[in-house]
Amino acid sequence: MIAMTDTLRAAVKSAGRLPFARLSVRDRQLRWSALHGDGDESAYQTALAVAAGGAWVRARLGAGGAFQVQRIADPADPDGWDSWETLLASGASGDVAIAAEGDWVRAFCIVSESGVWRVKVWTSSDGGGSWAGPATAAESSSAITSVASPAPDAVAWVAGGILRLSLWDGEAWSQVAAWSAGPVSADYGIACARRADVYAFLQAGLLATGAYLRAVSWGGGTWSEPRVVAPTGIPSDTLVPRWPSLAWIGDRYVAAYLDTFAGCLTYQTPTVRFSWDFDHWSYPCALHLNSDGPTRANVAAGDGKAFAAMEKSALEAPLGRALEGFAGILRAERTEAEGYGALRLLLHDNGELAAAPLLPYAEAALTLGYGTAAGLEGVETAPMYMADVQRARGESRPGVEYVVRARDGWGLLAEWQALTTEAWEGVSLGWMLGELLMRAAGLRLRTDDAPAWQMTLERFAVPRGGRGDAAVRQLLRHAGARARWDADGALYAFVAAAQPWGVDWAFDAEVRRARHGVASAGVSLARVAGLYPAMGQAQDARLSQAQGRTLGAAVADGYLTTAAQCAEAAAALVARGAARALRGTLTTAIVPGLQALDRVTVDDPALGLEAAARRVVSVRTVCDALRGV
């Protein structure tokens, strides 16, 4: 149940209630379009930052080891792209980096001097207009192979295969961290972003166990556990995604790197993924940026846009496009159930829709409510995701209208299929569920505090061609859990059998029509066998008595390793059986905060029910302005 105010709850049962429905559309997808150089091929390694006023500042590793910088006041102006200032005529190698905070900009390159490898740094205090330097930010007797900078006072670098971090304290540079647990035998680039005091890194490299693009963070003096961003093995076990870039854009981390979607290792497909928490990473999105070799595709943000750029070509994507509180809904039909959700809208074009982001995968959320003593009050439902949008004439009356169909997160999960068998080892059930949600559909997870989510999966695999929704349901079954989508778009997963009974939120709604009955689908005895000798059992004798027989379910689940886990899974099966033995349908005025899987009590004296405990299986909401419903 989504919380409702006291005045809104009172309006639900008021005889003079005046309902309303509003639509909000929010496009959180990064939809890229050409900004510059659609036909030009980039040849040199570059780095990108956005300075004050939206100006681009870039660094380049040019011909003959030259280190060059560039300021582009307006990246949409093609005249600014070809002028470079040389800071070092020769001697630079490997990689370059640049970072900006307002007008403070620093540019970094790698040089080797008399057998000592150094990261050199130049500083600008006017947004890249003029430069001072160089100074030395880091040095090593081992070869420095890559460099990245999240801010002008920080630089990450790799020497001897080890990722390191150096910081500027206002007077000097010093190394503060080294990830000794993660050395690579071949380094293919790093990226770094900073939020508060936590540094987030991507590292592409070859390890003894395989080829990986890994994510790791450092904060408070400790390193996190590394996570794999891009899986290995497509099309070869030696594939290493190369030259990553990383930025915090809007409300998420956005990473770009070079991948290949061909049958050979060309490394010329810039690819983008995003993450809400730097722990789980989304599906890939290939970008059309032309390159004459494996060079970094830089990501950055500024002026309400995201950018992806190589040396001679760039893309942009608008951020935060939305239509809020649209009132021209002629018809809306919304269905929310466990494992399924859909929305169909008929909208009148009052002039607002032409510029609205009515696009595939954009979020569509209804706000349902009433006029109350405090004014118009409503509750926004969980978002659904647009599947198709059609302009129509004569659907309900003269003029232009839009017909929109959307589906919930289960529909998004069903679209994803594993290109190859993907496997994980030694991860928790909760982490694995969050990983699948993100990788398949870019969605977040929220769970209750049941111990089942900490269960360790020795190995979990999604076979080639396996669908995302099937894999998520399999994981939920291991915990004996149920799930629904919350108002913020996250999947809320919980172990229903462990819940003490009680309504989720107090409200009263007039029941206009009702049906209540019993069914014969109730499992009253369940036995679950896990990894030998783990076994658990649950029984509902009252249900068995009522049916006159014991209906049993026997399940073998090799992911369960303890008797307690097996008992929880058995209890979930029996709880579902008890729920399925009771069937009914209620028709009421709209209850704005009601969700599938809410716990409610039903009083219906005419049919002999008093404080009957029930769980909502599905909610179908119909708003029809043309009929006044």
**Domain boundaries defined on the chain:** 6-27+337-409, 46-180, 189-319, 412-497
Mean pLDDT score across all residues of the chain: 89
Q: Sign of dihedral through CA atoms 419, 425, 429, 434?
A: negative
Query: Residue 317: is its pLDDT beyond 60?
Result: yes
**pLDDT tens figures, 87-123:** 999 999 999 999 999 999 999 999 999 999 999 999 9
State the average pLDDT over residues 16-36: 92
Map residue 64 onto helix, strand or coil: helix
State the average pLDDT over residues 326-354: 92
Which residue, 132, 191, 195, is CA-closest to 165? 191
- Considering 323-327, 612-616, 625-629, the range whose residues carry the highest mean pLDDT is 323-327
State the average pLDDT over residues 463-486: 94
552: left (phi over 0), alpha (psi -120 to 50) or beta: beta
- The full 3-state SS of 558-622, as one line of letters, equals CCCCCHHHHHHHHHHHHHHHHHHCEEEEEEECCCCCCCCCCEEEEEEHHHCEEEEEEECCEEEEE
The domain 46-180 is placed in CATH, from the list 1.10.510.10, 1.10.3720.10, 2.120.10.10, 1.10.357.10, at: 2.120.10.10
Which residue, 493, 475, 498, 483, is CA-closest to 570? 498
Phi and psi at residue 248, to the nearest 5°: -90, 115
Residue 400 is predicted with a pLDDT of 83
**β 340-348/363-372 pair status:** unpaired
314: left (phi over 0), alpha (psi -120 to 50) or beta: beta
**pLDDT tens figures, 126-135:** 999 999 989 9
**pLDDT tens figures, 219-240:** 999 999 998 887 654 555 566 7
Residue 504 is predicted with a pLDDT of 62
Residue 232 is predicted with a pLDDT of 55
Measure the CA–CA gap between 156 and 193, rounded to whole angstroms.
10
DSSP state of 223: E
The domain 412-497 is placed in CATH, from the list 3.30.830.10, 2.40.50.100, 3.40.50.300, 3.55.50.10, at: 3.55.50.10
| pLDDT-derived band at 265, boundaries 50, 70, 90 | low
In 277-420 the beta strands, taken as DSSP E runs, fall at: 285-286, 298-302, 305-309, 314-318, 321-326, 329-337, 340-348, 363-372, 375-380, 384-393, 400-407
**pLDDT tens figures, 137-175:** 999 999 999 999 999 999 999 999 999 999 999 999 999
The residues that bridge with 200 in the sheet, in sequence order, are 193, 217
State the average pLDDT over residues 402-421: 93
Residue 545 buriedness (CB in 10 A; 0-12 / 13-18 / 19+)? exposed
User: By mean pLDDT, which of 155-164, 261-270, 446-455 is the weakest?
Assistant: 261-270
Contacts of 217 (CB under 8 A, 6+ apart): 198, 199, 200, 201, 223, 224, 278
Residue 267 is predicted with a pLDDT of 58
Contacts of 552 (CB under 8 A, 6+ apart): 523, 524, 525, 526, 527
CA distances to 357, 380, 499, 586 from 26, in Å: 7, 13, 34, 32
Measure the CA–CA gap between 155 and 135, rounded to whole angstroms.
13
| pLDDT-derived band at 241, boundaries 50, 70, 90 | confident
| pLDDT-derived band at 507, boundaries 50, 70, 90 | low
Q: Residue 536 in contact with residue 548, Cβ under 8 Å?
A: no
Which residue, 404, 297, 289, is CA-closest to 25? 404
| pLDDT-derived band at 262, boundaries 50, 70, 90 | low
Phi and psi at residue 511, to the nearest 5°: -90, 115
State the average pLDDT over residues 556-565: 90
Query: Residue 520: is its pLDDT beyond 60?
Result: yes
Query: Residue 579: is its pLDDT beyond 90?
Result: no
Contacts of 124 (CB under 8 A, 6+ apart): 57, 103, 104, 105, 106, 107, 130, 131, 132
Q: What percent of the chain has pLDDT over 90?
A: 59
Measure the CA–CA gap between 364 and 551, rounded to whole angstroms.
42
Asked if domains 46-180 and 412-497 share a fold, the reply is no
| pLDDT-derived band at 382, boundaries 50, 70, 90 | very high
Q: What's the whole-model pTM score?
A: 0.90
Measure the CA–CA gap between 481 and 475, rounded to whole angstroms.
9
Instruction: Indicate the angle between helix axes 563-580 and 468-479, nearest 10 degrees.
Output: 110
User: Could you tell me the CATH superfamily of domain 189-319?
Assistant: Glycosyl hydrolase domain; family 43 (2.115.10.20)
Residue 488 is predicted with a pLDDT of 93
DSSP state of 546: H
Residue 620 is predicted with a pLDDT of 95
Which residue reads 């893309």 in tokens?
315
Count Cα atoms within 13 angstroms, Cβ side, for 158: 28
More confident position, 520 or 174: 174
Which residue, 329, 378, 327, is CA-closest to 622? 329
Residue 388 is predicted with a pLDDT of 94
Residue 233 is predicted with a pLDDT of 47
Contacts of 449 (CB under 8 A, 6+ apart): none
DSSP state of 355: G
Measure the CA–CA gap between 422 and 407, rounded to whole angstroms.
26
The two three-digit tokens of residue 316, written as one number: 């942009």
Query: Residue 523: is its pLDDT beyond 60?
Result: yes
State the average pLDDT over residues 529-539: 90
- Considering 10-14, 72-76, 587-591, the range whose residues carry the highest mean pLDDT is 72-76
Vertex 80 angle, CA 74 and 83, to 5° = 145
